[in-house]
A and B are shown apart, each in its own frame.
Chain A
Amino acid sequence: MNWLRFFFALALCLAWVYFLSNPISLGDTNVPPPGKIMSLNEGFWQNSEPVDTNEKTIEIKVDSLKGTVTVVYDSLNIPHVFAENRYDMFFAQGYVTARDRLWQMDFQVRGAAGRISEIVGDIALEYDRSMRRKGLPYSANNALQELLRDPETREAVLAYTSGVNEYISELEEKDYPVEYKILNYEPEEWSPLKTALLLKMMANDLAYRNNDFQFTNLYSKLGKELFDLLYPERLESEDPVINTDRKWDFDGYKYNQSMVDSIVNIYPENMLDQPDKDNGSNNWAVSGSKTKSGYPILANDPHLKLRLPSIWYMIHLQSPGYDVMGASLPGAPAVISGFNRNIAWGVTNARRDLVDWYSIKFKNKERKQYYHDGKYYPTRSKIETIKVKGKDDYKDTVIYTHHGPVMYDDSFKGDSSRIGFAMKWISHEKSNELKTFIELNAATNYDDYREALKHYISPAQNFVFASTDGDIAMTIQGKFPVKFPEQGKFVMDGTSSVYDWSNYIPMEHNASSLNPERGFVSSANQVPTAADYPYWYLAGDFEYYRNRVINEELTSMNDITIDDMKKLQQNNLNLKAKEILPWLLDTLDQSGLNDRQMEVYNTLKEWNFMNDPELVAPVYFNVWYDTLDDMIWKPVKDFDGPVQMPEYGVISSLLKNGTIKPYLDTFNIALNDSIRASFIRSVTVIDTLMSQRNDSLTWASYKDTYAQHLVPAFKGFNEEHLNIGGGSNIVNATKKNHGPAWRMIVSLEPGNVEAHAIIAGGQSGNPGSKGYNEYIRDWAMGKYYQLNFAETKEELTGSKLELNINQN
């Protein structure tokens, strides 16, 4: 009997240990091993960082260092790296970035490589396939070759990689970031390829968006006349990145006319989602002639998805000949947007159309040959093996042509075994963007800046520049194909070489401006140049409002201070509303409107067009405009196949000028009736919203901005209900889950460079740390921190922690 009881007890113990040591599957939800995740040793409790830590100095011994490095974390938790040579500096950058952001780095690059299914199972299989079919790993491998070929970038990525791996090697299971524990997987070694993948992921976010299928379908459905009316290549009152008085001292290569002779309306059955249209930024620099100090001031605020851990990581890197501070991307060495003792620079997305699609005719179902210029050429197949958690590996065959990978075919979103769609994307080309940033980090003047940009290919960016020498400049930098009009606007015939990319715009012909007479340079993702630029490019998604507000403000401002620049970055003027609302209100037939409707009308009439957080008028406008938009464009939205709505700027112009009539007539839309009906309907919607919120409806509560954790299902790690104004097409471009996650302003007085900045989040990637989100409420309130650009570690008073990294 006692034996029996013993074995029963033993069985119970073993079953308990087994049950709680393994994940539990509850339908679609996988619960991490309960024993481990709740454990005081291996579980999440270990990630609860004490808020008050006494840790002041940590000694770290490593094998691969050339000298000694000291890293001092200042009162803002920004690491200042003081190294004796560049290798050690990048080693330390890798080490401290991994210390704060290891899981984020790892997860982002697994995303870029199409390896998320390894972690979460087949729910991510389509995403992983899309990354592989887009050729992100392929383009990262191309970039890797260049990174390792150049001695400067080779040293940087190898040092950075060693630093990350040194940190990983020190970890025990209990030290793993909490996301590893919840998702039940382990960190793996960093590699230079992962840095390349990260940079290509940025290219995906910033330079993948295209409208080729949409335009092809719309052209077919609307006909040329209506299509050209609704989707014009240029808008009225455009204010390009490069000042319009810039004269071009080269001929360029401008074709006279389109060589697109026919447009065949073909598109894949389904399509992947596009990156956010508002992935963009603001940047500007004002010359000393317009500032109170007499020295240039530069500002930059990139707009991306509001993420936690924050997309950006602030750092100061110092070694002989290198002393730079600013925002870095966790996973890549160097500073991406920042300043040194002599210059400052920033970036905005150039938004040029650099993705083109070709319809490919395969010889047969085998897809081993495709037709081009009267002959069959062999394809190249790459079998992508995707590991799937809890299931067998998934194998996906991706066909490559001379254009690029065939993303859509009968095995992926397509419906024909003999027609595929190949993608030509500038980001597939060999490039070394990191070299640009390393050289910018160490640049001392305008010539250095221009030299650094020569290496930069993709994603095309507007690089703003200012220096203590008094120069300000803007360069639209990237590698751009020479195109004839409309080349790449529609899906192109892949059987003809007429539509192939053949030549590239010489980099010295890229549009740029140095010290323009108006005393400032600026960019906000708008059209790059006036129409006289000697090369044709497709004006697709260019922004139309932010840039005009910025330029109008900068034109009128004098004796500019850093505080003025802060106010401009947070300018909430809704120019879209300012341009269309008065017309809408005048056109609205007010007869028979009830008291409540008149109250809304009067609120809109008295509105100052500012999207301030506490106002309700922006909500009224937004709801009304969206309702009207749905009514007017319903016929287009209802088309079969991919569609794209006309730009707001076009709509505004068409409505006010009355030139929208051919469209309205074609689809029997009574505009005045739609305006009135949409207004009445919008008031009903607004009142419902108000009743849900106990009458406390404001723009901030309606917009309800939040920063989302990288794993959307981890809602507990989000930071929600941020009280902030702004919005889409507004200089303060803060939408619901998108916005200026890095704001920086730098005054360039020689010997006294002063920088103010903030990130939307915190320096730590650990949700169990106070540093995870410590800046985000200040960010929402429009606060900045003055950065301590210390020349020595002794200047960093009030520092929190010091790491001394020494050779073993």
Chain B
Amino acid sequence: MKTFGMTILVGVLVYFLHPFLPWYSPMIFSIIVFAAIEMKLGNVFAAAFFGSVLASLILTFQIDTANEAILSSRMAGIFDLTSSIYLHVITALIAGISGMLGGFLGYSFRRMLVKRRKDNLYYGGR
């Protein structure tokens, strides 16, 4: 349930902020989210990846629908792709992998800090 919630959170951030920020912004969102919130690494990967991918796909399909796929089909021709769907998939994968890597970094950052906290004598050590 927590993973699902985090997927939604990442997705919401990507959906509302990514269109105004650099292409690697899903990475930034995931770094922040998963540095702040404790989760298992596998779940971090899943939530960061799927949240970014889904939001990205919704965004590209919204843009493409409003444009009646005029540009995406022409761009597919430029890149020798047989269908403009691939452009949605590539965009989503770039966002997804960026998010996933960001999630990994955020998770690693948190683990690094959390270990330090647990090592603190005030908390009684391990």
- Chain A positions within 8 Å of B, measured between CB atoms, are 2-3, 5-6, 8-10, 12-13, 16-17, 20-21, 34-36, 38-45, 47-52, 178, 182, 714-717, 767-770, 772
Known: A39-B23, A51-B70, A768-B67. A717 touches B59 (CB 8 A): no
Residues of chain A within 8 A of B7, CB atoms compared: none
A48 touches B66 (CB 8 A): yes
A34→B90 CA distance, assembly (Å): 9
Q: A6-B108, A41-B19, A41-B23 are in contact. Are A50 and B97 (CB under 8 A)?
A: no
28 A-B pairs (CB sep. < 8 Å):
A2-B108, A2-B115, A5-B112, A9-B104, A9-B109, A10-B108, A21-B24, A34-B94, A36-B23, A39-B23, A40-B23, A41-B18, A44-B71, A44-B75, A48-B72, A49-B71, A50-B66, A50-B67, A51-B66, A52-B66, A178-B71, A178-B75, A715-B77, A715-B78, A716-B74, A716-B79, A717-B74, A768-B67
B87 an interface residue at 8 Å Cβ cutoff? yes
Q: How far is the CB of B100 from chain A (nearest CB, A)?
A: 10
Which residue of A has the minimal Cβ distance to B106? A9
Q: Find the A residue at minimum CB distance from B56.
A: A40
- Interface status of B20 (Cβ within 8 A of chain A): yes
Chain B residues with CB under 8 A of A35: 23-24, 94, 98
**Residues of B participating in the A interface, judged by any CB pair closer than 8 Å:** 18-25, 27, 31, 56, 59-60, 63-64, 66-68, 70-79, 87, 90-91, 94-95, 97-98, 101-102, 104-105, 107-109, 111-112, 115
Question: Within the complex, which residue of B56, B73, B75, B105 is in contact with A13, where a contact is CB–CB below 8 Å?
Answer: B105
Bound form: Cα–Cα A48–B109 in Å: 38
Chain B residues whose C-beta falls within 8 Å of the C-beta of A182 in the assembled complex: 78
- Chain A contacts of B102 at CB under 8 A? 13
Contacts A2-B111, A35-B24 known; 9 new A-B pairs at CB < 8 A? A13-B104, A20-B24, A35-B98, A40-B60, A48-B71, A48-B72, A51-B68, A768-B71, A770-B70
Determine the distance from Cα of A36 to Cα of B90 in the docked complex, in whole angstroms. Answer: 12
Please determine whether B68 and A39 come into contact, CB atoms closer than 8 angstroms: no
Point out the residue from B59, B74, B108, B112 that lies within 8 Å of A40, measured CB to CB. Answer: B59
> B105 contacts which of A6, A716, A767 (Cβ < 8 Å)?
A6
Most buried by B among A20, A38, A50: A38
Partner of B112, one of A3, A49, A52: A3
Contacts of B105 in A (CB 8 A): 6, 9-10, 12-13
Q: Are A20 and B23 in contact (CB under 8 A)?
A: yes
CB–CB A38/B91 < 8 A: yes
Closest chain-A Cβ to B110's Cβ sits at a distance in Å of: 9
Residues in A with CB closer than 8 Å to B63 are 40, 45, 48
Residue of A nearest to B114 (CB): A2
Task: Report the minimal beta-carbon distance from A28 to chain B, rounded to whole angstroms.
Answer: 14
- Which residues of chain B are within 8 angstroms of A9 by Cβ–Cβ distance? 101, 104-105, 107-109
Q: How far is the CB of B39 from chain A (nearest CB, A)?
A: 15
Residue numbers in B under 8 Å from A12 (CB-CB): 101, 104-105
- B9 CB to nearest A CB, Å: 19
Measured in the bound complex, the distance between the Cα atoms of B78 and A714 in whole Å is 5
A7's nearest neighbour on chain B, judged by CB, is B108
> Contact at A5–B111, with CB atoms within 8 Å?
yes
A50 to B66, CA, bound (A): 5
Q: Could you say which residues of chain A place their CB within 8 Å of the CB of B74?
A: 716-717, 767-768
Residues of B with C-beta under 8 A to A34: 90, 94
